[in-house]
Amino acid sequence: MTKEIKKIIATVIFCEFLICLGMSLIFPVMPFIKNEYGFSAFDMGMMSSLFAFVQFVASPIVGRISDKIGRKPMLVWGLLIFSLAEFLFAIAQHLWVFDVSRAVDGLSAAMFVPTSMALAADLTTARQRAKVIGWLSAAFSGGLILGPGLGGILANVSYKFPFWVAGVLGLISTVVAWSLLPRDDDERFQSTTKHPENQLLGSTRSQLRQLMTPALITLFMMIFVAAFGLAGFESIYSLYVNEVHHFDLATIALVLTLNGIISLVLQVFFFEGLVHWLGEVRLIRYSFFLSVVGTVFVIYDHSHWQLVVATLVVFEAFDMLRPAITTLLTKMSKSNQGLLNGINMSLTSVGNIIGPLISGALLDMNYQYPYWVVIVFLAAAFVITFGMNRLVVRD
């Protein structure tokens, strides 16, 4: 990897960290926004759904556009739009303005996250890709881990102050990306960032038909199952362990903090080695298996420390799943990385929408039902991985 490419990757990682930090600054203050403006739980749920829905719809479209117009414009505009969305939320006084802000936020996420993955795939060899995607995943996780704590501190100034800070971080990221990322027609990167014209001809529908090989369809299924499983597990975890196992807030916070720290260490220092040692398919298989075993222990184990360990096993398995699937996905096609990663993000959004809805509905019936549904999906995906090697080799 040349110095120029390392500089580009470092810039994208820095911007991804800042934008994720900005996104997560707002999490601790959302309940206070709800109370201050008299919004209902449905109103707040609608804000989250709008973010995920716009991200779902826009991701494949903007991914395809980035294949045509280049990565830099999509990244820069995505960061700028994120900043504007945060400023809009900070000045909002009416529900419809809050909703518009969250929808625009979803568009910015759709523009930046899959495009950053596509750029990483453009600039790296197959062997280098696991390391870079691990770094990007760590930047994503790191921002989400540090943001809520910082947001809680900033909220002491006012409930809206974290949104102003998030907007400023977005502007800083925009300037950094615009200044340091190379033009897409830079001759030094023609061989990696630009695709031959014949690879970009045709409609998005025709490109999708070409991409729908058995191996890619299987990977897309894995993306959805991983997103659904994590969202279904995580969305009710705090309520489940509080009601069933009597975890207090300090214990729940400790588990989530430990998860964040371990996740960062695994993705930065161990993910590349695990990919080279096991290969993506076996890493995906073992991650699904560990997530199933860990979820079973969460249901039936009544020892607090064993339950904490089981929870961490589940979370870290998911944290290995997502970059492993993304790494393998980027290796399955030499072109249309924007479209591929757009579909990746879109399916992740679908899982993030459906998982909490189903888990929440099942939780009203029985505390164990949501996790058993998650187990069934994860176990089915584990079985499917035994056919993935043959599909990957054939494709």
Mean pLDDT of 90-100: 92
Mean pLDDT of 181-203: 52
Predicted confidence (pLDDT) at residue 296 exceeds the cutoff of 90: yes
pLDDT digits (tens, 9 = 90+) for 337-371: 666 767 777 777 777 778 777 877 787 788 888 88
**Beta-carbon neighbour count of residue 39 at 10 Å?**
17
Q: How confident is the model at residue 100 (pLDDT cuts 50, 70, 90)?
A: very high
Highest-scoring range by mean pLDDT, 39-53, 113-127, 163-177: 163-177
Answer yes or no: same fold for 3-194 and 207-394. yes
Which tops the pLDDT comparison, 378 or 188?
378
* Residue 7 to residue 71: CA distance in whole angstroms: 15
pLDDT digits (tens, 9 = 90+) for 35-77: 788 887 667 767 777 877 888 788 778 877 887 888 889 999 9
- Alpha helix locations (H) across the chain? 3-25, 30-37, 41-69, 71-91, 95-123, 126-154, 161-180, 190-193, 197-200, 204-211, 214-235, 237-243, 249-265, 271-278, 280-300, 304-331, 337-363, 369-384, 388-394
- When the candidates are 2.102.10.10, 2.40.160.10, 1.10.10.10, 1.20.1250.20, the CATH number that belongs to 207-394 is 1.20.1250.20
Mean pLDDT of 84-107: 91
So where are the chain's domains?
Answer: 3-194, 207-394
pLDDT digits (tens, 9 = 90+) for 4-42: 888 888 888 888 888 877 777 776 677 678 778 888 766
pLDDT digits (tens, 9 = 90+) for 237-263: 777 787 788 877 677 767 877 877 888
Note whether 345 and 308 are within 8 A (CB).
no
Mean pLDDT of 92-99: 91
Note whether 169 and 19 are within 8 A (CB).
yes
Q: Whole-model pTM?
A: 0.68
pLDDT digits (tens, 9 = 90+) for 261-272: 888 788 778 888
Highest-scoring range by mean pLDDT, 102-106, 131-135, 215-219, 225-229: 102-106
Token pair, residue 346, equals 């879109």
**Beta-carbon neighbour count of residue 96 at 10 Å?**
8
Sign of CA dihedral 246, 248, 251, 255: positive
Mean pLDDT of 102-129: 82
Tell me if the domain spanning 3-194 has CATH number 1.10.150.80: no
Which tops the pLDDT comparison, 171 or 304?
171
